[in-house]
Amino acid sequence: MPVISKITRQKNNPERYNIYLDEKYAFAVDESTLIKFGLTKGKILEPFDIDEINYEDEIAKAFNRAIQYLSFQMRSEYEVKKKLLDAGFGESVVLEAIRKLEKIGLLNDETYSKALLETRKKTAKKGPRAIKQDLIKKGIDKETQKKVLDSFTYEEQVKIAMDLAEKTVRAYNKKTPMQIKQKVQDVLLRKGYSYSVLNEILDQIQIEREDDEWQQMIELQGDKIWRKYSAKFSGSELYMKVKQALYQKGFPIEAIEQFIDQKETENDE
């Protein structure tokens, strides 16, 4: 039976040890494996012992690789598993390493999901639907998804959605109220908020325009529309196309008629 004749610490990695059997290098093990199997000089190893030691050492290497991966940021079990499998570790080795990580509290999908929820709310202002998609991508099971998303209260959703809406209103302050509300709707739906939250926000948003503001907006947008349709239409057909386009953008009929009258006057001159 082979006997451990020498054990030396690796120079480049002091946490790993080279094991020599009958004066010949046989394999290397992590310090934790060395301690677990009580590997000392003079110990006799059965072939089965060597296989078990090598398997345990693979788990230790996978565990250490996962620790390094987790040192940058929190990860889901799915992410860690994929990382280790991609690194070439076997399925059983990866599962054992994951169990060790869970046992010491370094891997917990519920804790991870709660942290992701808070991050997405605060930094990306996302709603439940968008966050759910993020959780699905991270491999979080449905039960955990529901438990975590249920903690995102309706009141909190409305508050965050209102912040987004107010920011959108400021960004598009030169648009008509109808156009602004459409932008708000697009933003909130894209961010993953429900229609009930959206409708509540739209009901609360009040956007008023003075006559001179309507005049400035319609001159800016109306001229663009006029140039677009005047290349294809003329006369009453042109006026009708422009009227329809401006009405769809939310301009009041009085402002539209005034703009059209102005264009008619310019054409007559």
CATH topology agreement for domains 4-103 and 109-149:
yes
The answer to whether residue 269 scores a pLDDT higher than 60 is no
Q: State whether residue 7 is helix, strand or coil.
A: strand
The answer to whether residue 205 scores a pLDDT higher than 80 is yes
Higher pLDDT, residue 133 or 174: 133
Among 6-10, 41-45, 179-183, 253-257, which stretch is predicted with the lowest mean pLDDT? Answer: 253-257
**Distance separating alpha carbons of residues 9 and 80, to the nearest angstrom:** 29
* Of the options 3.40.50.10600, 3.30.470.10, 3.40.50.620, 1.10.10.10, the CATH number for the domain spanning 154-204: 1.10.10.10
The domain made up of 4-103 has a fold known as Arc Repressor Mutant, subunit A (1.10.10)
* Domain 109-149 listed as CATH 1.20.120: no
DSSP calls for 71-136? TTS---HHHHHHHHHHTT--HHHHHHHHHHHHHTTS--HHHHHHHHHHHIIIII---HHHHHHHHH
The answer to whether residue 90 scores a pLDDT higher than 80 is yes
Domain boundaries, the chain: 4-103, 109-149, 154-204, 212-268
**Distance separating alpha carbons of residues 171 and 165, to the nearest angstrom:** 10
**Distance separating alpha carbons of residues 246 and 256, to the nearest angstrom:** 7
Using an 8 Å Cβ cutoff, are 132 and 145 in contact? yes
Return the closest-CA partner of residue 160 out of 132, 203, 118. 118
State the Cα angle at 148 between 185 and 157, rounded to 5°. Answer: 30
